[in-house]
Amino acid sequence: MQKTVVSQEQIAHQYEYMQFIARMNAQKAEVCGHKLRAFTQTFGCQQNEADTQRIAGMLDEMGYEKAESAQQADVIVINTCAVREHAESRALGNVGALSHLKKARPDVTICLCGCMVQQEHIPEKIKKSYPQVDVVFGTHALWRFPELLYRRLTGDKRVFDTSGDAAGYIAEGLPVLRDGGTKAWLSIMYGCNNFCTYCIVPYVRGRERSRDPQQIVHELEQLVAEGYKDITLLGQNVNSYGKDLDTPIDFSDLLVRLNAVPGDFLLRFMTSHPKDASHKLFDTMAACDKVAKQLHLPFQSGSDAILKRMNRGYTAAHYRELIAYARDKMPDLTLSSDIIVGFPGETEQDFEQTRALVDEIGFDMLYTFLYSKRSGTPAASMPDDTPHEVKQERFERLLRTQDERVQARQDAYAGKCLRVLVDGTSKGTEYPLTARTEGGLLVCCAGDGLKIGEFAQVRIEKTSLRCLFGRSV
């Protein structure tokens, strides 16, 4: 199985479709007296947010301006997630609610895309039960969006494109519309090869494929020139970056190259997988001044029996060893993780091992999820006889442990001076600005000389569970 690099000729075709639509839209705009508008909505992870920015880039090229709500829009694009049932039902609920809008304004074009629709059983469901949807395209067809929309706008009744080779595609040269500000996503690879037994992502995103390092360096240079200062490299498992490339390069080598790009900016990355995170990576992070000392390293469970059934490929002891090494190299490291509570067959002892690891390590942030059964994954057919209330109680117990740890960690910052990047305004009047520490912690701040988009030094005056409060020094 080989990934497909979409040819520049095919990309040029997409630009032609965008220009056709732009011309049609210009004519329509003359009639109705304003530019046509597009509304996008995103569910799911940062990868999906980055994909929506690509879709927004294409819509911009087609002459649409941004609509603030679906009601105002001529085109609506809902980019879906399938990782848990909740994400799917919310997306479908929103699409369901659009049926009124479609009845009132049959000319509005409703598009549904992303991970949810890439699942085998979904297109049929949409064909049957969601007649208001005009265009459906999966993750593999994202780069063909202009062509699909064009077909719908020029007479095709409903357009479905959820096919695509699981090996996946790399499409360079399409427009991206970011939302300004200080933060930008930069995808370095797509897909996943890990097949954790609970997870739908490898089925809907295809195999791992890395972007050419030159392209990534070039995009970073552009971002820095545009004034972005807080740049997050994205991939489901960034530690396998480069394995599929002809050039011998790994993720650490890529970090070194990106760190050498001139300018005042911070590089973050996510997600790392403990099975592939290496000492070389931590040494490199420690040595690169522009790489934030921040690590998101999901461990999912503290029980080796569960980790094995999850097909994660490491043990709790290995995880501990990695963290100890990383903290030794980077004493100020900010650490976060993902955890699944209630995996099929999880016993009280298994769960307590997870809770104990949380207590022992002391994470700065935790993303905790109740297990959600995903059809087609191996875990979906594992016996799961733990009652929901028991899982819920474990979930809450874990959050309590985490909150205690976080409060203690937040308190330890009181009186300290930290370097932050000011990135927005807060609701409070006492500390009217928001900022992020190098490790990604939220700081509400006040004082002279603070400017959105600039780095500053603040002294922490007080703390809460979710926020530090600081004044410029």
Residues lying near ligand SF4 in the complex (CB under 6 A) = 192, 194-196, 199, 201-202, 236-237, 273
Phi, psi of 372 (to 5 degrees): -125, 125
Task: For the CB of residue 116, give the shortest distance to ligand F3S in the complex, in Å.
Answer: 7
Which residues does 443 contact at the CB level (< 8 Å), separation at least 6? 418, 420, 434, 435, 436, 437, 458, 460, 467, 468, 469, 470
Task: For the CB of residue 337, give the shortest distance to ligand SAH in the complex, in Å.
Answer: 8
Does position 201 bind ligand F3S by CB under 6 A?
A: yes
Task: For the CB of residue 139, give the shortest distance to ligand F3S in the complex, in Å.
Answer: 7
Phi, psi of 422 (to 5 degrees): -70, 125
Does position 136 bind ligand F3S by CB under 6 A?
A: no
- Candidates 45-53, 66-74, 176-184, 240-248; binding stretch for ligand F3S (CB under 6 A): 45-53
* x/- letters, 188..207, toward ligand SAH (CB under 6 A): ----------xx-x------
Task: For the CB of residue 168, give the shortest distance to ligand SF4 in the complex, in Å.
Answer: 13
Distances (CA, A) of 324 to 278, 285, 370, 405: 12, 15, 28, 18
Q: Which is nearer to ligand SAH, 59 or 91 (CB)?
A: 91
Q: Which is nearer to ligand SAH, 271 or 334 (CB)?
A: 271
Query: Which of ligand F3S, ligand SF4, ligand SAH, none has residue 195 at its interface (CB below 5 to 8 Å by kind)?
Result: ligand SF4
Does position 48 bind ligand SAH by CB under 6 A?
A: no
Task: For the CB of residue 120, give the shortest distance to ligand SF4 in the complex, in Å.
Answer: 17
Compute CA 283 distance to the chain's CA centroid, rounded to the nearest angstrom: 25
Tell me, what amino acid is at 155?
Answer: G
131 closest CA partner among 99, 162, 160: 99
Distances (CA, A) of 303 to 130, 275, 446: 42, 15, 44
- Candidates 54-62, 151-159, 183-191, 364-372; binding stretch for ligand SAH (CB under 6 A): 364-372
- 271: preceding bond cis by omega (within 30 degrees): yes
- Contacts to ligand SAH from residues 285-344, by CB under 6 A: 298, 300, 338, 340
- Candidates 180-188, 259-267, 371-379, 456-464; binding stretch for ligand SAH (CB under 6 A): 371-379
> Which residue of the chain is nearest ligand SAH when measured via CB?
338
For 385, counting Cβ atoms within 10 Å of its Cβ (0-12 exposed, 13-18 middle, 19+ buried), the class is exposed
Does position 115 bind ligand F3S by CB under 6 A?
A: yes
Tell me, what amino acid is at 216?
Answer: I
Q: How many CB atoms lie within 10 A of CB 430?
A: 11
Q: Which is nearer to ligand SF4, 273 or 436 (CB)?
A: 273
Q: Which is nearer to ligand F3S, 45 or 361 (CB)?
A: 45
Partners of 79 in beta bridges: 42, 113
Binding site for ligand F3S (CB under 6 A): 44-45, 47-48, 81-83, 115, 200-201, 204-205
